[in-house]
Amino acid sequence: MKDRPTARYTPPFTLTADILDRVAAISELLGRWSISQHDIFTPQLRRGNQIRTIQASLAIENNTLSLEQVTAVLEGKRVLGLPHEIQEVRNAFSAYARMAQWQPHSVAHLLQAHGMLMYGLVDNPGHFRQGGVGIYRDKRLIHMPPPADRVPLLIRDLLTWCRTATVHPIIISCVFHYEFEFIHPFADGNGRMGRLWQSRLLSQWQPMFEFLPVESVIKARQEEYYRALSEADRCAESTPFVEFMLAALLEAMREIHGVVEPDVGISPPVAALLTALYRNPPLKSAELMPLTGLRHRPTFRKNVLEPALAAGWIAMSHPDSPRSPQQRYRLTAAGERLAAALRA
């Protein structure tokens, strides 16, 4: 009996100059990290990045919980929010916490992950869709995925290709992400599953990718993310999306590189925030904002306060009530070390 071919198809894509340049830049940065790997992703940074990842991935799917609220949910605090949004956070935390245990080329593990990610949110979590679906944006049909009866075979072949392909693992993960969204194997949760499973493919190759908050970059560039998907559909190959995702990965890596080398990557407003709190009593956001040179409260929260919280550099005085009028912010031990280095 002859062996079954290792893969039924190869997803169409083109190795452009942009793709090769971005893979080279990512590889160079990974090489620099490997020299001082013991300094990368401290426990505080890992947790902060995981919280940012969860909040951003769910926000792309219209979850309205803030970074502070997501943090409070994961700490078991009471949060005022829609029950299904709180459930989404809990599910995502469970799924990302278990990510390393799943085999990225296993259909059964893919289904298990979907079951955990969508538990209590859909009727049939952990099962492929049973009917046809259409992807709409602004009431306009933008994509018609393959029929439901083809989904199991398409996913099996896609994962087989991921296991046997000879191109760079980073490119494989990006092609997978596009093809997964094209197949749209589940009735709901395809976006968050595609992002989760790309991270799983990457982390099998390089474990540091498990803690890379690329979802935060995608959230900040959400319209570009959707345009890249649409352009790939139009071209009938994943190339435009691969180029976008490589750029997003590189941006997220450079951001982390700035965290571990703060003199290079930390923004002046965040540096001013940490310096203002160094060896001082906790301060309210209204007291801190003028010290960072920012006057627009939403900008201050998004670009200064939330990144410092996510990185584990500052902490709230009332974490169970993120919006409390008495809320104040103080440096953590990691923040104190960083502030001291910035002042040196």
Residues in the chain predicted with pLDDT less than 50, given as ranges, are: 1-7, 37-38, 259-264
- Count the Cβ atoms, other than its own, within 10 Å of residue 293: 11
Q: Residue 293 annotated as binding?
A: no
Please choose, from the candidates 118, 109, 48, the residue with its C-alpha nearest in 3D space to the C-alpha of residue 89: 118
Q: What is the pLDDT of residue 39?
A: 52
Q: Is 192 annotated as a binding residue?
A: yes
Asked whether residue 335 is marked as a ligand-binding residue, the answer is no
d(CA 330, CA 171): 41
188 is in an annotated binding site: yes
Task: Say if residue 194 carries a ligand binding annotation.
Answer: yes
Q: Which CATH class is domain 263-343?
A: mainly alpha
pLDDT of residue 297: 87
Q: Where are the domains of the chain?
A: 20-26+40-260, 263-343
Give pLDDT, residue 175. 98
What residues form DSSP beta bridges with 64? none
Please answer whether residues 242 and 12 qualify as being in contact, where contact means their C-beta atoms are separated by less than 8 angstroms: no
* pLDDT of res. 322: 78
Q: Is the pTM of this model over 0.95?
A: no
Q: In the prediction, which pLDDT does 257 show?
A: 63
Note the helical H segments in 61-186: 67-74, 83-98, 107-117, 151-164, 169-183
Residue 220 φ/ψ, nearest 5 degrees: -70, -25
For position 94, what pLDDT does the model report?
A: 95
Q: Is 225 known as a binding-site position?
A: yes
Beta-bridged to residue 331, according to DSSP, are: 314
Give the model's pLDDT for residue 54: 93
* Catalytic residue IDs: 184
116 is in an annotated binding site: no
Rounded to the nearest 10 degrees, the angle between the axes of helix 169-183 and helix 151-164 is 180
Specify the CATH superfamily of domain 20-26+40-260.
Fido-like domain (1.10.3290.10)
| Dihedral (Cα; 212, 103, 60, 307), 10-degree rounding | -20
Closest C-alpha among 308, 343, 298 to residue 329: 308
pLDDT (0 to 100) of residue 2: 40
